[in-house]
């Protein structure tokens, strides 16, 4: 695995993490999104607003479900490229991925500000310079309460100069049939599609240097939102205006890796662009915004992240080490417009410019035959320039932060089968402008927040029984929690909500008692709470994340009629959670269990899969939020997608 910025065997990585390779991702299903990946692992929570608009939280470090302008608590990475700063997860489809990695806990020393909860890292498959290969796939899905949608995916790998230059391309279009009905008679109003592609070029210079250039784009759109209101049961909503949403994401990445003397050098540069456009029915809050009903609020945001990094390290010898420097530049431009019978009116303009320069390093040395000590640190300077215009009042802030984020690990690795480690790590996020206030009044700001975490973990395997066990006991302390706050008008500001803490245990077990069967179990038990006085007195849980979550998965492999068959079943449990620190918005989401099953057959170049999700057609709430302008008028909830049956056919070459 490479999430530690050095190529290291998983059995030696003294960090709580999850790694899923190509084969493991393939067993989970076709064209996975982030939510599907999260349902099959422990520690990752995802909101459910829609494609490209969700926020990620790792192991209880959750601030708010609202899409404000606070920096994300999880760093989303694509190889060495940083995909987001304060934007939602772009929800890239996990097609042709070499692996997906989730680092749990603060990762400040290696990844900088914003990696409070952890790092969600995608590693796309690289061009194979030795042989041509590829596959194409067609799919069809029918959804109860909804319609039928199709999908097409294709991957091609072509060496241009054998062993010297190659190209790999991915293209896909995934339809969404929709399953929310309008009480006026419109059906499947949240239909949509996701279209994307990726091109990667790899060149080998000399015998040891590789140069990689990659570009990707993904466009997602839905015709309406997917929540229901009040006491609505099932998948029907009484709505007045459609709420379409569009998310576009593009990234270009360039990287080079090779030896310098006995050391390994890596240099990379990337540019990510993300645009979000959402329309909300704002009639219920129109008067507070200076308009009248019926009214639409048009939310348009543009995010850009530039990241450049150079690092060098030694992976052998009595001391292994890594040192590097990075430069990050992030921009956010957002506007909010109210459209009502009188015309169009600018409500909000927000502009942010971030520059972050850092030096970081990590070194590890042996203390005897099987004990190693590792120290890491990141010294960084972050300059934040915020400007917010609201109701003809303007506020600005320029703030510079210089901080050190340290980490320390002590590990015991007596053999390939066992690793025990104790780890301390930290990360922080800089402050910014909270709101403009009133004309002539000094604007309010929010302070930087910081997380410190302690882990005691183990990773153990027993080859004779194909048994692996990952277990981690953790505790964290979160100071001056930054949280997006929903005002009565429906607009979002960022505030410090107080101090918080979390402690718990995270366990994953995989067992293959016989060669043809595999059982996987995962559970997360945690106690994430805001300190007394900061939240509702009767419920101090941090938002979105449950106290208990888990999954169980069983796979059986057999042969039938000349086909290699794979039968799988998975059940995912998510415990109760709350929506917000704000007592007036303290909606609760009940516990939910989701069951899915699949049957896959392979023979020669052909593969087919039949999959059923939400087998029991549960309409349980997955997220207690939908529209920021009307949520105070009553309950909102997002039911699980109804039972869906999907069939796909793939041809490899």
The 10s digit of each residue's pLDDT in 188-221 is 999 999 999 999 999 999 889 999 999 999 999 9
Residue 80 lies in a domain: yes
For CA atoms 290, 242, 182, 46, give the dihedral sign: negative
The answer, yes or no, to whether residue 255 has pLDDT greater than 80, is yes
Among the listed residues 40, 206, 78, the one whose alpha carbon sits nearest the alpha carbon of residue 572? 40
305: closest CA among 270, 268, 333, 349?
A: 270
Across the range 121-147, mean pLDDT stands at 95
* Structure confidence by residue, pLDDT tens digits, 41-65: 999 999 999 888 999 999 999 998 9
**Torsions phi, psi of 119, nearest 5?**
-130, 130
The tokens describing 489, both together, are 């008008």
Percentage of residues of the chain with pLDDT beyond 90: 75
Q: Are 465 and 419 in contact (CB under 8 A)?
A: no
Residue 2 inside a domain? The answer is: no
Q: Which of residues 237 and 301 earns the better pLDDT score?
A: 301
Residue 639, domain member (yes or no): yes
Cβ atoms 352, 302 nearer than 8 A: no
CA 448-494-477 angle, to 5 degrees, is 45
CB atoms within 10 A of CB 502: 22
The CA-CA-CA angle for residues 195, 198, 201, to 5°, reads 165
Residues 6+ apart with CB under 8 A from 139: 30, 31, 150, 151, 152, 153, 646, 647, 648, 649
Q: Are the C-beta atoms of residues 269 and 252 closer than 8 Å to each other?
A: no
d(CA 585, CA 486): 9
Q: What is the pLDDT of residues 546-560, one digit of tens each?
A: 999 999 999 999 999
Largest CA distance in the chain: 80
Q: Cα–Cα distance between 403 and 382 in angstroms, integer?
A: 9
Q: Which tokens hold the place of 166?
A: 């190659």
For residues 61 and 453, what is the distance between their CA atoms, to the nearest angstrom?
11
Burial category of 594 from C-beta neighbours within 10 Å (exposed 0-12, middle 13-18, buried 19 and up): buried
Task: Report yes or no on 15 lying in a domain.
Answer: yes
pLDDT of residue 283: 92
Give pLDDT, residue 465.
66
Residue 128 domain-assigned (yes or no): yes
Q: Which residues pair with 199 in a beta bridge?
A: 169, 215
The answer to whether the pTM exceeds 0.75 is: yes
Write down the pLDDT at residue 567: 97
What mean pLDDT is reported for the chain? 92
Q: Is residue 624 part of a domain?
A: yes
**DSSP per-residue letters across 427-463:** EEE--EEEE--STTSPPEEE--EEEEEEEEEEEEEEG
In the prediction, which pLDDT does 400 show? 87
Structure tokens, 339? 């459209």
pLDDT band at 231 (very low <50, low <70, confident <90, very high): low
Look at 393 and 571; give whichever has higher pLDDT. 571
Query: Which one, of 482, 485, 472, 463, lies nearest residue 415 by Cα?
Result: 463
In this predicted structure, the answer to whether residue 1 has a pLDDT above a threshold of 80 is no
pLDDT by residue (tens digit) across 610-625?
A: 999 999 999 999 998 9
Q: How confident is the model at residue 4 (pLDDT cuts 50, 70, 90)?
A: confident
Q: Is 599 exposed, middle or buried (0-12, 13-18, 19+ CB in 10 A)?
A: middle
Rounded CA-CA distance 36/27 in Å is 12
Is residue 1 situated within a structural domain?
no
Of 233 and 283, the structure prediction assigns the larger pLDDT to 283
Q: Return d(Cα 199, Cα 127) in angstroms, integer.
A: 9
Predicted pLDDT of residue 536: 47
Within a 10 A sphere around the Cβ of 47, how many other Cβ atoms?
25
Non-local (6+) Cβ contacts of 612 within 8 A are: 596, 597, 598, 643, 644, 645, 646
Mean pLDDT of 296-304: 97
537 contacts: CB under 8 Å, gap ≥ 6: none
d(CA 604, CA 594): 33
Establish if 5 belongs to a structural domain. no
* Domain enclosing residue 22, as ranges: 10-652
State the total domains in the chain.
Answer: 1
% the chain with pLDDT above 70: 97
The residue with greater pLDDT, 539 or 278, is: 278
Handedness of CA 16, 22, 27, 29 (dihedral sign): positive
User: Residue 578's domain is classified under what CATH number?
Assistant: 2.40.170.20
pLDDT one-digit tens code per residue, 505-560 = 999 999 998 889 999 999 999 999 999 865 445 788 999 999 999 999 999 999 99
């Amino acid at each position: 695995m490479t999430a530690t910025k050095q190529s290291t065997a998983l059995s030696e990585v003294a960090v709580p993490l999850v790694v899923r390779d190509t084969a493991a991702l393939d067993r989970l299903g076709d064209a996975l999104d982030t939510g599907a990946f999260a349902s099959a692992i422990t520690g990752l929570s995802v909101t459910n607003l829609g494609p490209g608009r969700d926020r990620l939280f790792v192991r209880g470090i959750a601030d708010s479900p609202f899409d404000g302008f606070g920096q994300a608590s999880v760093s989303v990475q694509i190889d060495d490229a940083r995909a987001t700063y304060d934007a939602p997860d772009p929800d890239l489809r996990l097609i042709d991925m070499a692996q997906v990695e989730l680092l749990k806990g603060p990762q400040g020393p290696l990844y900088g500000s914003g990696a409070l909860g952890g790092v969600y890292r995608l590693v796309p498959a690289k061009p194979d310079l030795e042989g041509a290969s590829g596959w194409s796939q067609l799919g069809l899905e029918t959804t109860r309460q909804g319609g039928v949608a199709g999908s097409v995916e294709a991957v091609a790998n072509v060496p241009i100069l054998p062993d010297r230059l190659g190209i790999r391309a991915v293209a896909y279009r995934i339809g969404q049939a929709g399953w929310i009905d309008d009480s006026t008679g419109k059906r499947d109003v949240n239909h949509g599609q996701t279209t994307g592609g990726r091109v990667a070029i790899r060149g080998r210079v000399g015998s040891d240097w590789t140069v990689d250039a990659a570009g990707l784009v993904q466009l997602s759109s839905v015709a309406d939102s997917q929540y229901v209101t009040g006491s609505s049961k099932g998948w029907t909503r009484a709505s007045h205006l459609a709420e379409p949403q569009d998310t576009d994401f593009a990234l270009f990445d360039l990287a080079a890796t090779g030896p310098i003397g006995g050391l390994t050098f890596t240099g990379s540069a990337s540019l990510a662009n993300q645009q979000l456009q959402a329309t909300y029915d704002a009639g219920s809050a129109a008067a507070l915004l200076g308009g009248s009903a019926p009214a639409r609020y048009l939310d348009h945001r543009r995010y850009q992240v530039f990241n450049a990094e150079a690092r060098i390290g030694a992976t052998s010898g009595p001391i292994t080490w890594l040192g590097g420097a990075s430069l990050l530049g992030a921009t956010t431009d957002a506007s909010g417009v109210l459209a009502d019978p009188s015309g169009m009116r600018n409500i909000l303009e927000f502009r942010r410019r971030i520059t972050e320069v850092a030096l970081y390093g990590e070194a590890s040395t042996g203390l005897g035959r099987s004990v190693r000590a590792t120290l890491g640190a990141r010294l960084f300077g972050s300059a934040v320039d915020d400007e917010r215009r609201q109701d003809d009042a303007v506020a600005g802030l320029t703030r510079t932060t210089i901080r050190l984020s340290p980490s320390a690990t002590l590990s015991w690795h007596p053999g390939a089968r066992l690793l025990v480690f104790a780890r301390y790590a930290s990360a922080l996020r800089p402050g910014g402008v909270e709101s403009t206030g009133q004309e002539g009044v000094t604007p309010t700001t929010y302070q930087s927040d910081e997380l410190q975490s302690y882990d005691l973990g183990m990773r153990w395997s027993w080859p004779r029984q194909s048994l692996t066990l990952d277990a981690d006991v953790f505790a964290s302390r979160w100071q001056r929690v930054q949280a997006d706050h929903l005002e009565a008008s429906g607009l979002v500001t960022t505030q410090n909500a107080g101090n918080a803490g979390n402690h718990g245990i995270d366990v994953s077990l995989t067992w293959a008692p016989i060669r043809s069967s595999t059982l996987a179990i995962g559970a997360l038990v945690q106690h994430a709470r805001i300190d007394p006085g900061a939240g509702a007195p009767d419920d101090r849980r941090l938002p979105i994340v449950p106290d208990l979550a888990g999954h169980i998965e069983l796979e059986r492999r057999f042969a039938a009629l000349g086909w290699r068959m794979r039968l799988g079943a998975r059940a995912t449990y998510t415990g109760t959670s709350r929506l917000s620190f704000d007592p007036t918005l303290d909606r609760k989401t009940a516990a939910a269990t989701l069951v899915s099953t699949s049957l896959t057959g392979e023979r020669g170049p052909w593969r087919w899969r039949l999959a059923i999700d939400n087998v029991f057609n549960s309409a349980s709430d997955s997220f207690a939020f939908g529209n920021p302008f009307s949520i105070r008028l009553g309950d909102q909830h997002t039911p699980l997608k109804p039972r869906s049956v999907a069939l796909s056919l793939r041809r490899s070459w």
